[in-house]
Structure 1
Amino acid sequence: MSHMMELSNRNPYPFPQIQNDEDFVGTNKVQKKPYGDPTHIAQRKDPWNRLNSTPTLASARREVYHHDPKAPQDSLDFILKAHYDHHGQFLSNRTETLHQSETFTEDHGRILKNRVVEEEKNFDPMSPPLRTIEILNPKRESLHSVEGAIESHHSAQTNNGYSRKHDGGFYTT
């Protein structure tokens, strides 16, 4: 009897198999096209530059030179500045006695969020009022006069004496 050697499909090296990103999931595909400019150049353009140069209210308040005269200096100032009325809200719990006026009213005079206050317009934006203008001199009196003409660097009168006519000839005086 001859011994026939049969090959097995079994993996002689079970787990963990050494693999990298390309072996494990196939080739790595870029889902988004890269930016055209390098980062240090793109950060000098909008919107990055605008967002970086405009501080938020919180970051402006953390600056060294920020001073808020209405801010309480200590816990006593904080308690005295509270919205609590002892005669009308007697025996309220501690958290209700420390509520500040900025929480309940709009007339505290402080800016709490970076929001633009919308102004009421006197007219409907879909049909704004028409503005009229008065034309002082509607007609040019003379063709040779520069006064009343439409200003342009292409007109023949802009360089008197040294410019050429439209047909290529020189002006004479």
Structure 2
Amino acid sequence: MIKYTKVQLRNDSYEPDLRSEGTYICQFPKPPPPPPFGDTGTWHGHLEPHERLFYHQTMNSVRYSKRYRGNPNIPKDSLDFQLQSRYDHSRECFPEKVDSVLQRETCTAICSWSAPGGAKEVGAKYQTFRVLRNTRFIRRKQDDALGHPLRIGGCKEKIHPHSVKLICSGVHNQLVNNGFSRQTSDGNFFRY
């Protein structure tokens, strides 16, 4: 069985992949294709600086664009950031000022904090829908742990289940007589 793993790579495209956060209403402008004689391998190698700046979209520019509609759960201003933060006044005695703006998705070291039950929070274990970096996920075949390829193939010939060749070798089977034997029904000679 072939197993795949998800690998996170840097997104070198002209627009970030934010499909998990919302929907694209219409497409963003695409850069022109490179000329056939001067292909540099990148989407921006043949463009002038002002053209490259026009076509390149950042995560923030896409989120605030009219061509993109984001999820309503994503914070939009400072009040939303504070309301969706991981800070809970009833749990912590002397919180720091930064705790009121820390989001659950960005907190990876919750277990080391003094908050009780911090390891059970959403940001500690689960991947959320919010995109924090301009990356993309691709599927790759998982390497074999044993160091050799496992080949699974079918039978090349179909052997009858009552064939003598399927018997385990031993002293008392019919393949010991490497010659002719008599059939039990009519006594004729035949070879296995």
Please give the range of the TM-score, normalised by the shorter of the 2 chains. 0.3 to 0.5
TM-score (norm 2): 0.37
Structure with a larger share of its residues in strand: 2
Quick one: higher RCO (CA 8 Å, sep 6+), 1 or 2?
2
Larger radius of gyration: 1
TM-score (norm 1): 0.40
